[in-house]
A and B are shown apart, each in its own frame.
Chain A
Amino acid sequence: NAGVTQTPKFQVLKTGQSMTLQCAQDMNHNSMYWYRQDPGMGLRLIYYSASEGTTDKGEVPNGYNVSRLNKREFSLRLESAAPSQTSVYFCASSEVPRGQPQHFGDGTRLSIL
């Protein structure tokens, strides 16, 4: 049982490049989340999806887009990466719509030069 799987685990980008972070869960959960974690800032919600076909902005959505492709997958896209987006990105899921995140992936460590 893999839980929440994130790919890639590490990535280095140049300013202005684009990339998509992938997330998939195998627990049949309704809600999925994207967070970023920065030193001294705690976890901040970027976007969430309460159920398949819906997405909503979190606290820090600027510079990001998301796609809830199906119930399993929720991707995060950086269209034009900026150094301020250097962070560790976590995907999470929960059974209850808008419930607390129950299961997190192991994160994607993203550096933008």
Chain B
Amino acid sequence: GQQLNQSPQSMFIQEGEDVSMNCTSSSIFNTWLWYKQEPGEGPVLLIALYKAGELTSNGRLTAQFGITRKDSFLNISASIPSDVGIYFCAGRDAGNNRKLIWGLGTSLAVNP
């Protein structure tokens, strides 16, 4: 089935660094979602975006709904060890609103 192109696949950074990751689709989306999954747990919804250009923050996390409606970005500022995990994007295709499409995740490791 359709999947989102999420990049990078993995990141290894130093504590305190800023992090950027993104997700792209081949079609126009009307919803973008960002989740975080820690080992042995289920995903946790971090941020939901519903309008092109929308910029939403959740603590040190900021996500944006791209103006082309085909991409979304997640930034983490001043990373800390507890940011470790896999970050997933997901979204709804504007032409098929019933289906939620998932990316394969960005694995983040933070060196203290």
Binding site for B on A (CB under 8 A): 4, 40-45, 59, 90, 92, 98, 100-107
Contacts and interface: CB of A to CB of B under 8 A. Distances in A.
B95 interface: no
Contact of A90 (B42, B99, B105): B42
B63 interface: no
Contacts of B43: 43, 90, 101, 104
Contacts of A92: 42
Interface of B: 1, 3, 31, 33, 40-45, 48, 88, 90, 92, 98-100, 102-105
A4 B42 contact: yes
A-B pairs, 6 with minimum CB distance: A104-B42, A42-B102, A43-B102, A42-B104, A90-B42, A104-B43
A40 B1 contact: no
Contacts of A41: 104
Given A43-B90, A104-B42, 6 more contacts: A43-B43, A90-B42, A100-B31, A100-B90, A100-B92, A101-B45
